[in-house]
Structure 1
Protein backbone atom coordinates (compact mmCIF):
# COMPACT_ATOMS: atom_id res chain seq x y z
CA UNK A 1 0.00 0.00 0.00
CA UNK A 2 1.49 3.35 -1.04
CA UNK A 3 0.40 6.99 -1.13
CA UNK A 4 -0.32 6.90 -4.86
CA UNK A 5 -2.70 3.96 -4.44
CA UNK A 6 -4.42 5.62 -1.48
CA UNK A 7 -4.82 8.85 -3.46
CA UNK A 8 -6.45 6.94 -6.31
CA UNK A 9 -8.64 4.95 -3.90
CA UNK A 10 -9.79 8.15 -2.18
CA UNK A 11 -10.63 9.82 -5.48
CA UNK A 12 -12.64 6.84 -6.76
CA UNK A 13 -14.38 6.49 -3.37
CA UNK A 14 -15.31 10.18 -3.38
CA UNK A 15 -16.59 10.30 -6.96
CA UNK A 16 -17.80 6.67 -7.17
CA UNK A 17 -16.55 6.65 -10.74
CA UNK A 18 -13.34 5.22 -12.23
CA UNK A 19 -13.78 7.40 -15.30
CA UNK A 20 -14.18 10.69 -13.42
CA UNK A 21 -11.36 9.75 -11.04
CA UNK A 22 -9.04 9.13 -13.99
CA UNK A 23 -9.98 12.50 -15.50
CA UNK A 24 -9.37 14.45 -12.27
CA UNK A 25 -6.12 12.62 -11.52
CA UNK A 26 -5.01 12.92 -15.18
CA UNK A 27 -4.40 9.16 -15.40
CA UNK A 28 -5.49 6.65 -18.00
CA UNK A 29 -8.51 4.74 -16.74
CA UNK A 30 -6.54 1.50 -17.03
CA UNK A 31 -3.98 2.96 -14.61
CA UNK A 32 -6.68 3.79 -12.06
CA UNK A 33 -8.12 0.26 -12.38
CA UNK A 34 -4.65 -1.28 -12.01
CA UNK A 35 -3.86 0.76 -8.89
CA UNK A 36 -7.13 -0.22 -7.23
CA UNK A 37 -6.59 -3.89 -8.12
CA UNK A 38 -3.06 -3.72 -6.72
CA UNK A 39 -4.31 -2.14 -3.49
CA UNK A 40 -7.04 -4.78 -3.16
CA UNK A 41 -4.47 -7.53 -3.71
CA UNK A 42 -2.11 -6.13 -1.07
CA UNK A 43 -4.96 -5.88 1.45
CA UNK A 44 -6.62 -9.15 0.49
CA UNK A 45 -10.10 -7.61 0.21
CA UNK A 46 -12.34 -6.05 -2.43
CA UNK A 47 -12.86 -2.32 -1.95
CA UNK A 48 -15.52 -1.66 -4.61
CA UNK A 49 -18.44 -3.60 -6.01
CA UNK A 50 -20.42 -2.99 -9.18
CA UNK A 51 -24.21 -2.95 -9.08
CA UNK A 52 -26.38 -2.14 -12.11
CA UNK A 53 -23.55 -0.38 -13.88
CA UNK A 54 -22.60 1.70 -10.83
CA UNK A 55 -19.89 1.23 -8.24
CA UNK A 56 -20.08 1.51 -4.49
CA UNK A 57 -17.76 0.88 -1.57
CA UNK A 58 -17.76 -2.54 0.03
CA UNK A 59 -17.79 -2.71 3.85
CA UNK A 60 -13.99 -3.06 3.70
CA UNK A 61 -13.77 0.01 1.47
CA UNK A 62 -15.91 2.03 3.89
CA UNK A 63 -13.67 0.98 6.77
CA UNK A 64 -10.52 1.91 4.86
CA UNK A 65 -11.71 5.34 3.68
CA UNK A 66 -11.28 7.35 6.94
CA UNK A 67 -7.80 5.86 7.44
CA UNK A 68 -6.86 6.71 3.86
CA UNK A 69 -7.97 10.30 4.48
CA UNK A 70 -5.88 10.56 7.64
CA UNK A 71 -2.82 9.08 5.93
CA UNK A 72 -3.14 11.41 2.93
CA UNK A 73 -3.63 14.39 5.23
CA UNK A 74 -0.55 13.52 7.27
CA UNK A 75 1.46 12.93 4.09
CA UNK A 76 0.47 16.39 2.88
CA UNK A 77 1.47 17.95 6.18
CA UNK A 78 4.78 16.07 6.13
CA UNK A 79 5.53 17.48 2.68
CA UNK A 80 4.63 20.94 3.91
CA UNK A 81 6.94 20.63 6.91
CA UNK A 82 9.79 19.31 4.79
CA UNK A 83 9.43 22.06 2.17
CA UNK A 84 8.49 24.84 4.55
CA UNK A 85 4.99 26.28 4.92
CA UNK A 86 3.75 26.98 1.44
CA UNK A 87 0.54 28.38 0.04
CA UNK A 88 -2.58 26.50 1.19
CA UNK A 89 -3.71 24.22 -1.62
CA UNK A 90 -5.69 21.15 -2.50
CA UNK A 91 -9.33 20.14 -2.91
CA UNK A 92 -12.06 20.49 -0.28
CA UNK A 93 -15.27 18.61 -1.06
CA UNK A 94 -18.22 20.27 0.68
CA UNK A 95 -21.79 19.05 0.88
CA UNK A 96 -24.19 21.96 0.69
CA UNK A 97 -27.75 22.94 -0.15
CA UNK A 98 -29.16 25.38 -2.66
CA UNK A 99 -30.14 28.04 -0.12
CA UNK A 100 -26.68 28.14 1.49
CA UNK A 101 -24.82 27.97 -1.83
CA UNK A 102 -26.81 30.77 -3.43
CA UNK A 103 -27.41 33.10 -0.50
CA UNK A 104 -24.70 32.52 2.14
CA UNK A 105 -21.64 31.19 0.32
CA UNK A 106 -20.68 33.89 -2.22
CA UNK A 107 -18.51 35.95 0.22
CA UNK A 108 -16.67 32.78 1.29
CA UNK A 109 -16.12 31.67 -2.31
CA UNK A 110 -14.91 35.12 -3.30
CA UNK A 111 -12.44 35.17 -0.40
CA UNK A 112 -10.90 31.81 -1.34
CA UNK A 113 -10.80 32.70 -5.04
CA UNK A 114 -8.73 35.82 -4.39
CA UNK A 115 -6.83 34.94 -1.21
CA UNK A 116 -6.19 31.21 -1.63
CA UNK A 117 -6.53 30.43 -5.35
CA UNK A 118 -4.80 27.05 -4.95
CA UNK A 119 -7.58 25.79 -2.68
CA UNK A 120 -10.25 24.29 -4.91
CA UNK A 121 -13.70 24.19 -3.29
CA UNK A 122 -15.95 21.49 -4.76
CA UNK A 123 -19.59 22.06 -3.77
CA UNK A 124 -21.76 18.95 -3.88
CA UNK A 125 -25.56 19.52 -3.75
CA UNK A 126 -26.89 17.32 -0.98
CA UNK A 127 -29.82 16.99 1.39
CA UNK A 128 -28.94 17.11 5.08
CA UNK A 129 -29.35 13.36 5.67
CA UNK A 130 -27.14 12.62 2.66
CA UNK A 131 -24.56 15.14 3.86
CA UNK A 132 -24.39 13.52 7.31
CA UNK A 133 -23.97 10.09 5.72
CA UNK A 134 -21.22 11.35 3.39
CA UNK A 135 -19.40 13.06 6.27
CA UNK A 136 -19.45 9.85 8.33
CA UNK A 137 -18.24 7.86 5.32
CA UNK A 138 -15.52 10.39 4.56
CA UNK A 139 -16.68 11.25 1.04
CA UNK A 140 -17.24 14.89 2.05
CA UNK A 141 -14.59 16.90 3.88
CA UNK A 142 -17.21 19.22 5.36
CA UNK A 143 -20.88 19.91 4.93
CA UNK A 144 -23.61 22.44 5.63
CA UNK A 145 -26.71 21.38 7.53
CA UNK A 146 -29.99 23.15 8.21
CA UNK A 147 -31.56 21.16 11.01
CA UNK A 148 -33.53 21.57 14.23
CA UNK A 149 -31.01 19.30 15.96
CA UNK A 150 -27.49 20.60 16.55
CA UNK A 151 -25.91 17.36 17.77
CA UNK A 152 -25.30 14.53 15.33
CA UNK A 153 -23.88 11.05 15.79
CA UNK A 154 -20.33 10.74 14.51
CA UNK A 155 -20.17 14.38 13.43
CA UNK A 156 -18.82 17.62 14.93
CA UNK A 157 -20.62 20.83 14.02
CA UNK A 158 -20.44 24.57 14.52
CA UNK A 159 -23.78 26.37 14.68
CA UNK A 160 -23.55 29.39 12.37
CA UNK A 161 -26.91 30.79 13.40
CA UNK A 162 -30.65 30.38 13.59
CA UNK A 163 -32.17 30.39 10.10
CA UNK A 164 -35.45 32.39 10.12
CA UNK A 165 -38.31 30.84 8.18
CA UNK A 166 -41.15 32.75 6.55
CA UNK A 167 -44.46 31.66 5.00
CA UNK A 168 -44.93 33.38 1.65
CA UNK A 169 -47.39 33.61 -1.25
CA UNK A 170 -48.19 35.94 -4.13
CA UNK A 171 -49.68 39.33 -3.11
CA UNK A 172 -52.98 38.26 -4.69
CA UNK A 173 -53.31 35.02 -2.73
CA UNK A 174 -56.44 34.87 -0.50
CA UNK A 175 -54.33 34.43 2.65
CA UNK A 176 -52.12 37.43 1.89
CA UNK A 177 -54.64 39.84 3.41
CA UNK A 178 -55.35 37.84 6.58
CA UNK A 179 -54.34 39.38 9.91
CA UNK A 180 -53.57 35.92 11.27
CA UNK A 181 -53.27 32.69 9.32
CA UNK A 182 -54.28 29.45 11.07
CA UNK A 183 -53.27 25.84 10.51
CA UNK A 184 -56.83 25.10 9.50
CA UNK A 185 -56.56 27.66 6.68
CA UNK A 186 -53.21 26.28 5.59
CA UNK A 187 -54.64 22.78 5.35
CA UNK A 188 -57.13 24.06 2.79
CA UNK A 189 -54.62 25.61 0.36
CA UNK A 190 -51.95 24.19 -1.93
CA UNK A 191 -48.52 24.03 -0.29
CA UNK A 192 -45.39 24.22 -2.46
CA UNK A 193 -42.34 22.52 -0.99
CA UNK A 194 -38.76 21.50 -1.73
CA UNK A 195 -38.00 17.81 -2.11
CA UNK A 196 -38.44 15.36 0.75
CA UNK A 197 -35.51 15.26 3.17
CA UNK A 198 -35.46 19.02 3.75
CA UNK A 199 -35.65 19.56 7.53
CA UNK A 200 -37.95 22.58 7.57
CA UNK A 201 -40.28 20.96 5.04
CA UNK A 202 -40.59 17.90 7.28
CA UNK A 203 -41.25 20.04 10.36
CA UNK A 204 -43.90 22.04 8.50
CA UNK A 205 -45.46 18.85 7.14
CA UNK A 206 -45.63 17.36 10.64
CA UNK A 207 -47.30 20.54 11.93
CA UNK A 208 -49.95 20.49 9.19
CA UNK A 209 -50.60 16.77 9.58
CA UNK A 210 -50.81 16.78 13.37
CA UNK A 211 -54.15 15.28 14.43
CA UNK A 212 -55.70 15.42 10.95
CA UNK A 213 -55.86 11.70 10.31
CA UNK A 214 -54.59 11.99 6.72
CA UNK A 215 -51.58 13.76 5.22
CA UNK A 216 -51.85 17.19 3.64
CA UNK A 217 -50.58 16.89 0.04
CA UNK A 218 -47.56 18.97 -0.96
CA UNK A 219 -46.74 20.11 -4.48
CA UNK A 220 -43.05 19.22 -4.68
CA UNK A 221 -40.55 21.33 -6.62
CA UNK A 222 -36.92 20.59 -7.37
CA UNK A 223 -35.46 23.87 -6.13
CA UNK A 224 -36.29 27.14 -4.40
CA UNK A 225 -36.23 29.24 -7.55
CA UNK A 226 -38.90 26.99 -9.07
CA UNK A 227 -40.97 27.32 -5.91
CA UNK A 228 -40.76 31.11 -6.10
CA UNK A 229 -41.88 31.10 -9.71
CA UNK A 230 -44.82 28.91 -8.75
CA UNK A 231 -45.71 31.24 -5.89
CA UNK A 232 -45.54 34.31 -8.10
CA UNK A 233 -48.26 32.93 -10.40
CA UNK A 234 -50.52 32.04 -7.49
CA UNK A 235 -50.02 28.27 -7.24
CA UNK A 236 -50.03 28.27 -3.44
CA UNK A 237 -48.01 29.06 -0.30
CA UNK A 238 -44.60 27.92 0.84
CA UNK A 239 -42.40 27.97 3.95
CA UNK A 240 -38.87 29.05 3.01
CA UNK A 241 -35.75 30.48 4.68
CA UNK A 242 -36.19 34.25 4.83
CA UNK A 243 -32.81 34.80 3.14
CA UNK A 244 -34.11 33.14 -0.04
CA UNK A 245 -37.10 35.50 -0.43
CA UNK A 246 -35.79 38.74 1.11
CA UNK A 247 -35.44 40.47 -2.27
CA UNK A 248 -38.86 39.21 -3.41
CA UNK A 249 -40.52 40.54 -0.25
CA UNK A 250 -38.74 43.89 -0.62
CA UNK A 251 -39.83 44.22 -4.27
CA UNK A 252 -43.41 43.21 -3.50
CA UNK A 253 -43.42 40.21 -5.84
CA UNK A 254 -44.13 37.98 -2.84
CA UNK A 255 -45.96 38.66 0.43
CA UNK A 256 -45.22 37.37 3.91
CA UNK A 257 -48.19 35.62 5.50
CA UNK A 258 -49.13 36.18 9.15
CA UNK A 259 -48.04 32.79 10.46
CA UNK A 260 -45.08 32.14 12.76
CA UNK A 261 -43.45 28.73 12.57
CA UNK A 262 -43.54 27.02 16.00
CA UNK A 263 -40.14 25.43 15.34
CA UNK A 264 -36.62 26.60 14.50
CA UNK A 265 -33.77 25.34 12.34
CA UNK A 266 -30.10 26.16 12.59
CA UNK A 267 -27.54 26.40 9.82
CA UNK A 268 -24.42 24.46 10.76
CA UNK A 269 -21.01 23.60 9.35
CA UNK A 270 -20.05 20.00 10.09
CA UNK A 271 -17.21 17.48 9.66
CA UNK A 272 -16.60 13.89 10.75
CA UNK A 273 -15.88 13.49 14.45
CA UNK A 274 -12.27 12.55 15.14
CA UNK A 275 -11.07 13.61 11.73
CA UNK A 276 -7.75 15.41 11.56
CA UNK A 277 -8.46 18.94 10.35
CA UNK A 278 -6.00 20.06 7.71
CA UNK A 279 -4.78 23.64 7.51
CA UNK A 280 -7.13 24.17 4.54
CA UNK A 281 -10.12 22.79 6.44
CA UNK A 282 -9.38 25.03 9.41
CA UNK A 283 -9.13 28.02 7.06
CA UNK A 284 -12.51 27.18 5.58
CA UNK A 285 -14.16 26.77 8.98
CA UNK A 286 -12.70 30.01 10.33
CA UNK A 287 -13.54 32.06 7.24
CA UNK A 288 -17.07 30.67 6.98
CA UNK A 289 -17.78 31.50 10.61
CA UNK A 290 -16.29 34.97 10.17
CA UNK A 291 -18.25 35.72 7.00
CA UNK A 292 -21.58 34.45 8.27
CA UNK A 293 -21.38 35.65 11.89
CA UNK A 294 -22.33 39.21 10.92
CA UNK A 295 -25.27 38.07 8.82
CA UNK A 296 -26.76 35.95 11.59
CA UNK A 297 -26.11 38.66 14.20
CA UNK A 298 -28.11 41.07 12.03
CA UNK A 299 -30.91 38.50 11.78
CA UNK A 300 -30.96 38.03 15.56
CA UNK A 301 -31.28 41.78 16.15
CA UNK A 302 -34.09 42.27 13.62
Structure 2
Protein backbone atom coordinates (compact mmCIF):
# COMPACT_ATOMS: atom_id res chain seq x y z
CA UNK A 1 0.00 0.00 0.00
CA UNK A 2 1.41 3.38 -1.01
CA UNK A 3 2.57 5.58 1.85
CA UNK A 4 2.06 9.33 1.90
CA UNK A 5 5.76 9.86 2.61
CA UNK A 6 6.58 8.04 -0.63
CA UNK A 7 4.15 10.24 -2.58
CA UNK A 8 5.62 13.38 -0.98
CA UNK A 9 9.08 12.20 -1.98
CA UNK A 10 7.97 11.47 -5.54
CA UNK A 11 6.33 14.90 -5.84
CA UNK A 12 9.44 16.60 -4.45
CA UNK A 13 11.69 14.85 -6.98
CA UNK A 14 9.46 16.02 -9.83
CA UNK A 15 9.02 19.60 -8.60
CA UNK A 16 12.62 20.12 -7.49
CA UNK A 17 14.07 18.53 -10.62
CA UNK A 18 16.10 15.71 -9.14
CA UNK A 19 17.13 13.50 -6.22
CA UNK A 20 19.64 15.91 -4.66
CA UNK A 21 17.32 18.93 -4.70
CA UNK A 22 14.45 16.82 -3.36
CA UNK A 23 16.59 15.50 -0.49
CA UNK A 24 17.44 19.08 0.49
CA UNK A 25 13.81 20.13 0.42
CA UNK A 26 12.75 17.10 2.48
CA UNK A 27 15.72 17.48 4.83
CA UNK A 28 16.87 13.91 4.31
CA UNK A 29 19.74 12.06 2.65
CA UNK A 30 19.76 11.15 -1.03
CA UNK A 31 19.71 7.42 -0.30
CA UNK A 32 16.35 7.79 1.47
CA UNK A 33 14.86 9.57 -1.54
CA UNK A 34 16.27 7.00 -3.96
CA UNK A 35 15.01 4.13 -1.80
CA UNK A 36 11.48 5.52 -1.54
CA UNK A 37 11.25 6.04 -5.30
CA UNK A 38 12.57 2.52 -5.95
CA UNK A 39 10.06 0.96 -3.54
CA UNK A 40 7.26 2.97 -5.10
CA UNK A 41 8.20 1.73 -8.56
CA UNK A 42 8.37 -1.85 -7.29
CA UNK A 43 4.98 -1.54 -5.64
CA UNK A 44 3.38 -0.12 -8.80
CA UNK A 45 5.29 -2.44 -11.12
CA UNK A 46 6.40 0.32 -13.47
CA UNK A 47 9.13 2.88 -13.97
CA UNK A 48 8.18 6.37 -12.90
CA UNK A 49 11.27 8.04 -14.35
CA UNK A 50 13.58 7.54 -17.31
CA UNK A 51 17.21 7.77 -16.18
CA UNK A 52 19.32 9.95 -18.47
CA UNK A 53 22.85 10.20 -17.18
CA UNK A 54 22.57 11.98 -13.85
CA UNK A 55 19.17 13.41 -14.71
CA UNK A 56 15.63 12.11 -14.47
CA UNK A 57 12.76 12.49 -16.93
CA UNK A 58 9.19 11.76 -15.91
CA UNK A 59 7.83 8.62 -17.61
CA UNK A 60 4.20 8.44 -18.84
CA UNK A 61 3.24 6.39 -15.79
CA UNK A 62 4.97 8.99 -13.62
CA UNK A 63 2.86 11.76 -15.13
CA UNK A 64 -0.29 9.85 -14.25
CA UNK A 65 0.92 9.22 -10.71
CA UNK A 66 1.88 12.88 -10.24
CA UNK A 67 -1.70 14.01 -10.82
CA UNK A 68 -3.08 11.50 -8.33
CA UNK A 69 -0.28 12.16 -5.83
CA UNK A 70 -1.09 15.87 -5.78
CA UNK A 71 -4.76 15.16 -5.23
CA UNK A 72 -4.07 12.66 -2.44
CA UNK A 73 -1.60 14.91 -0.63
CA UNK A 74 -3.94 17.87 -0.97
CA UNK A 75 -6.80 15.80 0.41
CA UNK A 76 -4.61 14.77 3.33
CA UNK A 77 -3.77 18.42 4.10
CA UNK A 78 -7.37 19.55 3.73
CA UNK A 79 -8.68 16.69 5.85
CA UNK A 80 -6.21 17.49 8.59
CA UNK A 81 -7.03 21.19 8.44
CA UNK A 82 -10.79 20.55 8.42
CA UNK A 83 -10.59 18.21 11.41
CA UNK A 84 -8.41 20.60 13.37
CA UNK A 85 -10.72 23.51 12.64
CA UNK A 86 -13.57 21.76 14.42
CA UNK A 87 -13.47 23.03 17.97
CA UNK A 88 -9.85 24.16 18.15
CA UNK A 89 -10.11 26.23 14.96
CA UNK A 90 -6.47 25.76 14.07
CA UNK A 91 -4.73 24.69 10.90
CA UNK A 92 -3.44 26.34 7.74
CA UNK A 93 -5.09 28.25 4.95
CA UNK A 94 -3.06 28.91 1.80
CA UNK A 95 -4.33 31.96 -0.09
CA UNK A 96 -3.23 33.33 -3.45
CA UNK A 97 -4.00 36.78 -4.83
CA UNK A 98 -2.97 39.21 -7.52
CA UNK A 99 -0.80 41.89 -6.00
CA UNK A 100 -3.30 44.63 -6.81
CA UNK A 101 -6.14 42.67 -5.22
CA UNK A 102 -4.04 41.82 -2.18
CA UNK A 103 -3.28 45.49 -1.63
CA UNK A 104 -6.92 46.55 -1.94
CA UNK A 105 -8.90 43.85 -0.18
CA UNK A 106 -6.86 41.27 1.70
CA UNK A 107 -5.78 43.26 4.79
CA UNK A 108 -9.35 43.80 6.05
CA UNK A 109 -10.43 40.30 4.97
CA UNK A 110 -7.50 38.58 6.69
CA UNK A 111 -8.24 40.55 9.84
CA UNK A 112 -11.81 39.23 9.77
CA UNK A 113 -10.61 35.65 9.26
CA UNK A 114 -8.13 35.97 12.11
CA UNK A 115 -10.87 37.28 14.41
CA UNK A 116 -13.20 34.40 13.50
CA UNK A 117 -10.48 31.71 13.45
CA UNK A 118 -7.75 32.95 15.84
CA UNK A 119 -5.71 29.74 15.75
CA UNK A 120 -5.58 29.50 11.97
CA UNK A 121 -2.25 30.05 10.23
CA UNK A 122 -2.69 32.21 7.13
CA UNK A 123 -0.22 31.92 4.26
CA UNK A 124 -0.48 34.38 1.36
CA UNK A 125 1.20 34.30 -2.06
CA UNK A 126 0.98 37.00 -4.72
CA UNK A 127 1.34 36.10 -8.40
CA UNK A 128 -0.29 36.57 -11.77
CA UNK A 129 -3.81 35.25 -12.33
CA UNK A 130 -2.54 32.49 -14.62
CA UNK A 131 0.08 31.28 -12.14
CA UNK A 132 -2.36 31.37 -9.21
CA UNK A 133 -5.01 29.41 -11.09
CA UNK A 134 -2.43 26.77 -11.95
CA UNK A 135 -1.37 26.49 -8.30
CA UNK A 136 -4.95 25.89 -7.22
CA UNK A 137 -5.22 23.14 -9.84
CA UNK A 138 -1.95 21.65 -8.57
CA UNK A 139 -3.33 21.63 -5.01
CA UNK A 140 -0.67 24.11 -3.86
CA UNK A 141 -3.23 26.75 -2.82
CA UNK A 142 -6.60 26.37 -1.10
CA UNK A 143 -7.98 29.38 -2.98
CA UNK A 144 -6.89 32.30 -5.12
CA UNK A 145 -8.32 35.69 -6.00
CA UNK A 146 -7.84 36.21 -9.72
CA UNK A 147 -9.14 38.21 -12.66
CA UNK A 148 -11.88 36.34 -14.43
CA UNK A 149 -14.05 34.95 -15.53
CA UNK A 150 -12.38 31.55 -15.05
CA UNK A 151 -14.01 28.61 -16.80
CA UNK A 152 -12.53 25.20 -15.96
CA UNK A 153 -14.20 21.84 -15.25
CA UNK A 154 -12.23 21.38 -12.03
CA UNK A 155 -12.66 24.89 -10.63
CA UNK A 156 -15.36 27.06 -9.10
CA UNK A 157 -15.16 30.82 -9.69
CA UNK A 158 -17.12 33.03 -7.31
CA UNK A 159 -17.16 36.70 -8.32
CA UNK A 160 -16.48 39.08 -5.43
CA UNK A 161 -15.77 42.37 -7.21
CA UNK A 162 -15.56 44.12 -10.56
CA UNK A 163 -12.44 46.25 -10.87
CA UNK A 164 -12.28 49.28 -13.16
CA UNK A 165 -9.05 49.59 -15.14
CA UNK A 166 -7.90 53.08 -16.10
CA UNK A 167 -5.11 54.37 -18.30
CA UNK A 168 -2.37 56.07 -16.30
CA UNK A 169 0.49 58.33 -17.39
CA UNK A 170 2.57 61.19 -16.01
CA UNK A 171 1.42 64.78 -16.20
CA UNK A 172 2.60 66.50 -19.36
CA UNK A 173 3.38 63.21 -21.14
CA UNK A 174 1.65 61.75 -24.21
CA UNK A 175 1.09 58.00 -23.69
CA UNK A 176 0.84 57.48 -27.47
CA UNK A 177 4.56 58.30 -27.68
CA UNK A 178 5.60 56.19 -24.66
CA UNK A 179 6.27 52.50 -23.98
CA UNK A 180 3.83 50.40 -22.01
CA UNK A 181 4.84 49.38 -18.48
CA UNK A 182 3.16 46.24 -17.20
CA UNK A 183 3.27 43.09 -15.11
CA UNK A 184 4.95 39.93 -16.37
CA UNK A 185 3.32 37.26 -18.55
CA UNK A 186 0.18 35.71 -17.07
CA UNK A 187 -1.32 38.94 -15.71
CA UNK A 188 -4.90 39.56 -16.89
CA UNK A 189 -4.32 43.32 -16.85
CA UNK A 190 -1.33 42.83 -19.16
CA UNK A 191 -3.54 41.18 -21.79
CA UNK A 192 -5.98 44.09 -21.74
CA UNK A 193 -3.20 46.67 -21.81
CA UNK A 194 -1.66 45.08 -24.90
CA UNK A 195 -5.08 44.94 -26.58
CA UNK A 196 -5.66 48.63 -25.78
CA UNK A 197 -2.19 49.51 -27.06
CA UNK A 198 -3.02 47.87 -30.41
CA UNK A 199 -6.46 49.51 -30.61
CA UNK A 200 -5.00 52.97 -30.02
CA UNK A 201 -2.18 52.53 -32.50
CA UNK A 202 0.54 53.63 -30.09
CA UNK A 203 3.66 54.86 -31.84
CA UNK A 204 5.86 52.97 -29.37
CA UNK A 205 5.11 49.25 -29.31
CA UNK A 206 7.77 48.39 -26.73
CA UNK A 207 6.90 47.27 -23.21
CA UNK A 208 8.78 47.18 -19.92
CA UNK A 209 8.02 44.61 -17.21
CA UNK A 210 8.00 45.10 -13.44
CA UNK A 211 7.01 42.74 -10.63
CA UNK A 212 5.29 45.21 -8.27
CA UNK A 213 2.47 47.68 -8.72
CA UNK A 214 4.30 50.51 -6.94
CA UNK A 215 7.32 49.87 -9.15
CA UNK A 216 5.12 50.28 -12.20
CA UNK A 217 3.37 53.40 -10.91
CA UNK A 218 6.67 54.89 -9.76
CA UNK A 219 8.13 54.58 -13.27
CA UNK A 220 4.94 55.92 -14.82
CA UNK A 221 4.95 58.90 -12.45
CA UNK A 222 8.38 60.06 -13.66
CA UNK A 223 7.41 59.78 -17.33
CA UNK A 224 9.02 56.49 -18.32
CA UNK A 225 5.83 55.05 -19.78
CA UNK A 226 2.10 54.41 -19.31
CA UNK A 227 0.04 51.54 -17.91
CA UNK A 228 -3.42 50.20 -17.11
CA UNK A 229 -4.20 49.79 -13.42
CA UNK A 230 -7.31 49.45 -11.21
CA UNK A 231 -8.61 52.94 -10.42
CA UNK A 232 -8.57 52.34 -6.66
CA UNK A 233 -4.93 51.21 -6.73
CA UNK A 234 -3.99 54.47 -8.42
CA UNK A 235 -6.06 56.52 -5.99
CA UNK A 236 -4.28 54.93 -3.03
CA UNK A 237 -0.79 55.21 -4.53
CA UNK A 238 1.85 57.51 -3.07
CA UNK A 239 2.44 58.70 -6.66
CA UNK A 240 -1.18 59.82 -7.22
CA UNK A 241 -0.37 63.54 -7.41
CA UNK A 242 1.97 62.98 -10.36
CA UNK A 243 -0.41 60.82 -12.38
CA UNK A 244 -3.12 61.49 -14.97
CA UNK A 245 -6.01 58.99 -14.92
CA UNK A 246 -8.11 58.43 -18.05
CA UNK A 247 -11.31 56.40 -18.30
CA UNK A 248 -11.39 53.45 -20.71
CA UNK A 249 -14.18 51.79 -22.75
CA UNK A 250 -16.17 49.30 -20.71
CA UNK A 251 -14.95 46.22 -22.61
CA UNK A 252 -11.37 47.06 -21.55
CA UNK A 253 -12.10 48.65 -18.18
CA UNK A 254 -14.39 46.11 -16.46
CA UNK A 255 -12.53 43.15 -14.96
CA UNK A 256 -14.55 40.64 -12.90
CA UNK A 257 -12.49 39.35 -9.99
CA UNK A 258 -13.31 36.32 -7.93
CA UNK A 259 -12.23 33.47 -5.68
CA UNK A 260 -11.11 30.28 -7.40
CA UNK A 261 -11.33 26.96 -5.53
CA UNK A 262 -11.23 23.30 -6.49
CA UNK A 263 -14.70 22.07 -7.35
CA UNK A 264 -14.27 18.70 -5.61
CA UNK A 265 -12.26 20.01 -2.66
CA UNK A 266 -13.59 19.74 0.91
CA UNK A 267 -15.39 22.83 2.18
CA UNK A 268 -13.40 24.61 4.86
CA UNK A 269 -15.22 26.95 7.21
CA UNK A 270 -12.37 29.46 7.00
CA UNK A 271 -12.75 29.65 3.21
CA UNK A 272 -16.36 30.72 3.60
CA UNK A 273 -15.31 33.34 6.14
CA UNK A 274 -12.59 34.62 3.80
CA UNK A 275 -14.88 34.80 0.78
CA UNK A 276 -17.54 36.70 2.69
CA UNK A 277 -14.97 39.10 4.17
CA UNK A 278 -13.44 39.86 0.78
CA UNK A 279 -16.87 40.44 -0.77
CA UNK A 280 -17.73 42.83 2.08
CA UNK A 281 -14.43 44.69 1.62
CA UNK A 282 -15.12 45.07 -2.09
CA UNK A 283 -18.71 46.22 -1.46
CA UNK A 284 -17.55 48.95 0.93
CA UNK A 285 -14.93 50.14 -1.51
CA UNK A 286 -17.53 51.13 -4.10
Q: When the two structures are superposed, what TM-score results if normalisation uses the length of structure 1?
A: 0.72
CA distance in 1, matches of 2:262, 2:15: 15
Distance 2:66 2:186 in 1: 26
1:58 Cα deviation from its structure 2 partner:
4.8
Task: Verify the 8 A CA contact 1:8 1:35 in the aligned structure 2.
Answer: yes
Q: Which residue of 2 aligns with 1:271?
A: 261
C-alpha contact 2:84 2:90 (8 A) present in aligned 1 = no
Matched residue pairs, number?
Answer: 283
Residue 277 of structure 2 is matched in structure 1 by 291
Distance 1:265 1:37, change over 3 A: farther
Task: Provide Cα deviations, 1:273-300, integer angstroms capped at 9, x if missing partner.
Answer: 33x32x5xx234212212211222134x
Q: Of residues 262, 271, 279 in structure 1, which corresponds to 2:251?
A: 262
- Aligned pairs (5 A) from 1:83-232: 85=86, 87-110=88-111, 115-117=117-119, 119=121, 121=123, 123=125, 125-147=126-148, 149-170=149-170, 172-174=171-173, 186-210=175-199, 216-232=205-221
Contact 1:158 1:268 in 2 (8 A): yes
Separation of aligned partners in 2, 1:238 and 1:81: 42
Moved more, 156-165 or 23-32: 23-32
- Shift of the alpha carbon at 1:162? 0.8
Contact (CA 8 Å) 1:66, 1:138: kept in 2 or not?
Answer: no
Distance change (3 Å), C-alpha of 1:75 and 1:131 = closer
Distance 1:128 1:74, change over 3 A: closer
RMSD value, Cα: 4.0
Rounded to whole Å, the distance in 2 between the matches of 1:52 and 1:128 is 37
* 1:57-108 residue CA offsets vs partner (Å, 9 max, x unmatched): 5543443344335544665687799999463555554443322333332334
Gaps of 5+ in 1: 176-185
Contact 2:112 2:277 (8 Å CA) reproduced = no
